[in-house]
Structure 1
Amino acid sequence: MDKIHIVTVRNPRDPIAEAYRTLRTNIQFSSFDKKIQSIMITSSGPGEGKSTTSANLAVVMAETGARTILIDCDQRKPKLHKIFLTSNETGLSNLLADKAGFEDAVKKNVVKNLDLLPSGMRPPNPAELLASRKMENFLQELKEKYEYIILDTPPVVAVTDAQLLSRYVDGCLLVIASSQAEKEAVVKARDLLLKVGANIIGAVLNKLEVKEKGYYGYYYQYYYGEDGKKVKEKKKRKRIGR
């Protein structure tokens, strides 16, 4: 576990790790009528940090004692098995194709209270596989076993996988890389999700440049609520010498 290269595992006291806990709290209080139990995470384009966000969010969910499962639904460029230093030989695709059972595919306790379901062998028809009734039923069955289900999906503008999966989850998070994502692409990603009736519970602004002055500085975390208003949280951070 000490070799996993995500901040919530390597350095849980880091301000960035605390930002993920704030995200967790925001999600938990994002709806008073229905618990957000299954959460899909996507982005408009590649390289915006959706897999890193998925992994860290799953870790902080699990650290509360809640049984959590993280599923790699990116059948084209899976990354979660690399993050958690495990095999991708058997996973979600094998399970949906009846080539493996759940107990054979899932990686138990990659972090305490957190199970990982890798993507598995790449299928010839990833979109059809993820959109299947079997996938929908599988996610419903997982709700009986886990308190939180986190799905890492491909960029929504590039392929239809995230759109299709968004119909089966309680909420969607859109990861946006600061100074990288194009505004038009982000708007298109949002519109594509809304077109299929996705419940967008918020957006995560990632890769935000931090400027520090003197020995102490500040970092900012931005998130967008359901009302579309941007909220900025200012927290004091001690700079570590490098």
Structure 2
Amino acid sequence: MLVVKDKPKSPIAEAYRTLRSNIQFSSFDKEMQLILVTSSGPGEGKSTTSSNLALAMAESGNSVLLIDCDLRKPSVHKKFKISNYDGLSNVLAGHIKFEEANHWYNKNLCVLTAGKIPPNPAEMLASKRMKEFLAESRGTFKYIILDAPPVIAVTDPQVLSTMADGVILVVSSGVADIEAAKRAKELLENVNANIIGSVLNRVKIESRRGYYGSYYYEEDEKIAEEI
């Protein structure tokens, strides 16, 4: 659900804005321009997080590019209800230009879907063309958000994390296994990924524990916590 668009005044939408602000102020030396969003396993909400974060960044007047880098099981196009006929894979393969494949969701947010599922996702994402494409995008957009596959499932996120300024690990309460989340963190650290934080979602209200430095937002018996 795109709560930033559909429920802009909700506590959850405000949580994404807080996440946006935390990212913007997360580094004094280097701007966090290219952000990778991933999770330890499937079904933890990484695509929902990346999509709403992109909307939150765009609504503050920044030019934002959201790229669905899950070339195995893409879902960003479903959230924005746009076509996935042409996308990242088609651009990297040289079959179509970026300008012909992207979708301007609003005046500030540009979405590039995954496109046709290729036989070699990891190799395509690690290619020289991918690095060149991201470098070109840096010169056009203020922020670039990569929605990547789960870390433990495939090597794609590790490959992409080496190109990103920062990585956000999404962890879902009741879905993610603690050891799996630790393993995901270790795999990212093995390639020197800059993990700037985690997003914990789907926490039931009764399990809440308030403490200094955490932010809680209640809605529909769930809490989104940015840590």
Q: Which interval holds the TM-score relative to the shorter structure? A: over 0.9
Map of 1:52 onto structure 2:
48
Q: Please name the residue that 2:224 is paired with.
A: none
Question: For structure 2, which runs of at least 5 residues remain unmatched after alignment?
Answer: 222-227
Counterpart for residue 226 of structure 1: none
Distance 1:133 1:238, change over 3 A: closer
The one of 213, 217, 224 aligned to 1:231: 213
Q: Which stretches in structure 1 are left out of the alignment for 5+ residues?
A: 213-218, 223-229
* Aligned with residue 23 of structure 1, among 19, 23, 28: 19
More relative contact order, 1 or 2 (CA 8 Å, 6+ apart): 2
Please, which of 100, 113, 136 is the counterpart of residue 104 of structure 1? Answer: 100
Residues 15-35 of structure 1, C-alpha deviation per residue, up to 9 Å, x if partnerless?
Answer: 000000000011011100000
SS of the aligned residue for 1:35 comes to: coil
How far apart are the structure 2 equivalents of 1:234 and 1:142? 34
Instruction: Please report the TM-score for the alignment, with normalisation by the length of structure 2.
Output: 0.92
2:11–2:219 CA contact under 8 A, matched in 1: no
Answer whether contact 1:154 1:162 (CA < 8 A) is retained.
yes
**In structure 2, C-alpha distance between the alignment counterparts of 1:122 and 1:137, rounded to whole Å:** 21
- The answer (yes or no) to whether the contact 1:59–1:111 under 8 Å persists in 2 is no
Work out the CA distance in 2 between the residues paired with 1:220 and 1:96: 46
User: Aligned runs of 1:138-217 on 2, under 5 Å?
Assistant: 138-211=133-206
Report sequence identity in percent.
54
Residue-by-residue CA offset, 1:124-173 (whole Å, 9 max, x unaligned): 00000001111111111101100000000000000000000000110000
Q: 2:87 — aligned with what?
A: 91
Superposition deviation, residue 6 in structure 1: 1.1
Equivalent in the alignment of 2:127: 132
Q: Give the root-mean-square deviation of aligned CA atoms.
A: 2.1
The alignment partner of 1:70 has SS state of: strand
Structure 2 counterpart of 1:68, one-letter code: V
Paired position in structure 2 for 1:215 = none
Answer yes or no: is the 8 Å Cα contact 1:75–1:126 preserved in 2: yes
Corresponding residue number in structure 2 for 1:72? 68
* Higher CA-based Rg: 1
- Whole-Å Cα distance in 2 between the matches of residues 221 and 172 of structure 1? 25
Residues 157 and 189, structure 1, Cα contact 8 Å, conserved in 2: yes
**Are 1:9 and 2:1 counterparts?**
no
TM-superposed CA distance for 1:231, in Å, is 3.1
> 3-state SS of the aligned residue for 1:41?
strand
